[in-house]
Amino acid sequence: MNKSIIYTIIFILTIAGILLLVLFKTPEFLEPEEPGLPTEAIEETGEEKPDVMDQQETPAPAEVKKPVITITGQELAEKVYNRDDGDSAHSITEMVLRDKNGHERKRIMEMYTKDFDPLVRAFIEFTDPADIRGTRFLSWENADEDDTQYLYLPELGRARRIVSNQKKLRFVNTDFSYEDMERRKPDEDKHEISGEAVYLQRPVFILESEPFPDTSQYGRRETFVDQESLIPVSIDFYDKKGELIKEFRVHELKEIDGIWTAMSAEMRDLEAGHKTFMNLKEVEYNIDLSEQYFELRNLEQ
Amino acid sequence: MNVKAVVFLTGIFLFMVHEARASVFPIVVDWEVGGEWSSYWYGEAEQDTEAENEIMSDNRLLLENDISFQEQNFFINADAEWRFETFYGGLEEESQSEVRFREFYGEWKQDSFEVLAGQSILTWGKLDDLVVLDRINPQDFTHFILYEKQERKDPALMMQFEWFALEDVQFETVWMPVFQPSEIDYFGTNWAGFDHLKETVLASGNYTAGQKSIVSGISIQDDDSVTDQSLENSQVAMRLRGRMSEVDYGLYYMNLYQSLPVLKEENPAGNATKRFLYEPTLANLDALVSASASGNDLLLTRAHPRVHVIGADWETVWRAFGLRGEIAWTMDAPYLRDDLSYNEKDSLAAGFGIDHTTDNDWYFDFQYVQNYILNYEGLYGIDEWPTQFAGTVSKSLARGTWFVETDWLWDASYSDWMLNPEIVYKWSRLGVDAAVGIFIFEGENASTVFGRYDNNDVVYLRLSGEF
């Protein structure tokens, strides 16, 4: 047998072995898991696994009350913006992308954030799957300008300054746009509280926000703000023609180290019939994070 | 013990240590093992000569180890690569296999500085595909430009020191103790500089014994004075990087050997040898025969002169566009005169790049480099003002399940160009990508870069994955 054939056989067998390892290391290969829904909830109901979108608690109209609170929409938006989310944080999040045919893809990202009063810097690294492993993203909020953002792609071999004002673009092919991933400043919208409701068995404010011209891809947002945690737990996104185009729903809230946290959530693109589930796998707050984490040197390590 | 055995045994050792690390290391060690593999199959669009290989495969397996000694701020990166190629069709069917370390270095990180020692790949400059300042690592041109710049880079032995002087200012210096040239074949493959010229002449019945004797006598040697593993051949480069407002900038100085060789003659008769190699006509071969060329007349040397490069780069964003640029003054770069005699000249280069992603996810990247040869005299295949353009257009479809991309290069001064459209399917569950594409090379004559490969258009299939 000539050398070419021997090498080819060895190579094919090696790759086949690697693929089998990859396949067997994928949990879904053994037991498909419904993303987004906490396991204990499934166990408690004992029912067939439902689509998590069916689990959302959209309030009935009767539950909607006229606001009896005294704060204004603007004040509520500022409270949401300034709510306690820790001076620093580290989290690992699993993102599951599901298309309208039910095909799924996963991404796992590790995120570090730190307050540089009053602004926030964030460092994100994708750790899975292998084809985006090593992709890193650095974002610095600026007071009166667009954020400064850098992207490190392994195939490029260097950090690249990227445009941060294209907020409409999808974040790594998910249903979240870059705008959705950013902290939106309260003075970029006109806010009004239109009522109260109940979501996840918790009282929420209904906050209507209309962006000032040229500040958003959306025409209007209707946000349910959890009254205790001040976390937006449900957002309906409307385009500039007034049509509902995307829905964001939190499925589980949990208090961790005294800080309320959305443990699982999903974003649904109504036009594409595509969904992205976000499950927080790990989170820790107020940790000792060096400022170097948020510098270019960390991006290019 | 040969290199393959060393690499193999080191791989086994690393694997065993990885498995037993809890008991081996009393200190905290974070060890990640991963890798990537690829299998390219190239088919010649048309077999132009009987020596040309019709089908080639290029297969690689890369095993990566990232070992972090967190408390000590010390990191080790050890990558081993197995590569084998097969060639079908043509006069010779053959295969070649290579096992080697790719990147292999240790890095110590402190608050204000970092030190790296070992075999590494660096990326300097801001342009993506065209080279003005990205000259630290040699490149593998044995497959011409079938692989992108970053993939073509070979790791180089170096020590790198980075000093984070201020929040927005960083100083970096690199010392490379020995010189490692770029890899390029001159004969015997479809992508060699003179492709299958020797085999074709020697196997053909259309040439006389005298002509064959001349052709078989042609040889190309290394310049031992620069490829010797001697500290006299060390190279140094430094860069100052910073940020002013919304602009990133870098200032560069490099004292390096030119890694891509230019052929230098041993005596003036060698220029006739070069003439035949670059323009392999019967008339040029007969000129060698009638001059009774022999010995040093047929001996050429890969010249790698020491060049000094002073340059700068910058990058910013404007509205929805990424903007970047590079400039460089290169001293003593090698060229060939019109009579093909070796020559060195200074040159200036300025590059500009712009990229943009549309709201519906089309990505456009455009790069332009303008060169200027100082004290210009007639140069072979090089104008006084060489101009290059390069670009990429791409789009991901079905949320990244499909990906279409076209890369192109155009040497405006010589009217030659390359086009590389490709479509990729990403099978995300297995982490496998399948791609088909084509490389089209066009040029008016063999003295231009793409003109030399005018008959080498290839269709390819690529399977690749990461784990």
Chain A CA closest to residue B246: A148
Burial class (CB in 10 A: 0-12, 13-18, 19+), A269: buried
Residue ranges in chain A modelled with pLDDT below 50: 29-62
Per-residue pLDDT at A37: 41
pLDDT at residue A47 in the model: 38
How many whole angstroms separate alpha carbon B11 and alpha carbon A286?
A: 40
From chain B, the residues in CB contact with A290 under 8 A are: 111
- For chains A and B, CB pairs below 8 A equal 122
| pLDDT at residue A48, as a whole number | 39
Give the pLDDT of residue B5: 65
Q: How far is A204 from chain B (nearest CA, A)?
A: 34
Interface of A with B in 49-78 (CB under 8 A): none
pLDDT for A8 equals: 78
Q: Give residue-wise pLDDT tens across range A35-87.
A: 444 333 333 333 333 444 444 444 444 455 555 567 899 999 999 999 999 99
Chain A residue nearest residue B321, CA to CA:
A163
Residue A30, pLDDT score: 46
Out of A2, A105, A133, the one facing B34 most closely (by C-beta) is: A133
Inter-chain residue contact A157 with B396, CB threshold 8 Å: no
> In what helix (H) or strand (E) does residue A52 lie, and over which residues does it extend?
helix A52-55
With an 8 Å Cβ cutoff, is A156 touching chain B? yes
Interface contact A145-B162, CB threshold 8 A: no
Q: Which of A130, A156, A168 sits opposite B467 (nearest CB)?
A: A130
Written in H, E and C, the secondary structure of chain B is CCHHHHHHHHHHHHHHHHHCHHHHCCCCEEEEEEEEEEEEEEEECCCCCCCCCCEEEEEEEEEEEEEEEHHHCEEEEEEEEEEEEEEECCCCCEEEEEEEEEEEEEEEECCCEEEEEEEECCCCCCCCCCCCCCCCCCEECCCCCCCCHHHHECCEEEEEEEEEEECCEEEEEEEECCCCCCECCCCCCCCCCCCCHHHHHHHCCCCCHHHHHHHHHCEEECCHHHHCCCHHHCEEEEEEEEEECCEEEEEEEEEEECCCCEEEECCCCHHHHHHHHHCCCHHHHHHHHHCCCCHHHHEEEEECCEEEEEEEEEEEEECCEEEEEEEEEEEEEEEEECCCCEEEEEEEEEEEEEEEECCCCEEEEEEEEEEEECCCCCECCECCCCEEEEEEEEEEECCCCEEEEEEEEEECCCCEEEEEEEEEEEECCCCEEEEEEEEEEECCCCCCCCHHHCCCCEEEEEEEEEC
Answer yes or no: do A131 and B426 touch at CB < 8 A.
yes
Which pLDDT value is given to residue A208? 97
Residue A79 is predicted with a pLDDT of 96
Q: Do B86 and A4 touch (CB under 8 A)?
A: yes
pTM above 0.90, yes or no: no
For residue A163, give the nearest of B35, B61, B321 by CB distance.
Answer: B321
Tell me what pLDDT residue A41 has.
34
Count, residues in chain A: 301
Contact at CB, B430 and A19, closer than 8 angstroms: yes
Contact: B426, A3; criterion CB under 8 Å: no
pLDDT tens for chain B, residues 1 to 467: 466 666 666 766 676 676 666 555 556 688 889 999 999 999 998 877 788 889 999 999 999 999 999 888 999 999 999 999 998 888 777 888 999 999 999 999 998 999 999 999 999 999 988 999 999 999 999 999 999 999 999 999 999 999 998 888 999 999 999 999 999 999 999 999 998 999 999 988 899 999 999 999 999 999 999 988 888 999 999 999 999 989 999 999 999 999 999 999 999 999 999 999 999 999 999 999 999 989 999 999 999 999 999 999 999 999 999 999 999 999 999 999 999 999 999 999 999 999 999 988 999 999 999 999 999 999 998 999 999 999 999 999 988 899 999 999 999 988 899 999 999 999 887 889 999 999 999 998 877 889 889 989 999 999 999 98
Rounded to the nearest angstrom, the minimum Cα separation between B454 and chain A is 28
* Measured distance CA(B74)–CA(B70) in Å, rounded: 7
User: Is there a contact between A19 and B432 if contact means CB atoms under 8 Å apart?
Assistant: yes
CB contact at 8 A, B168 and B240: no
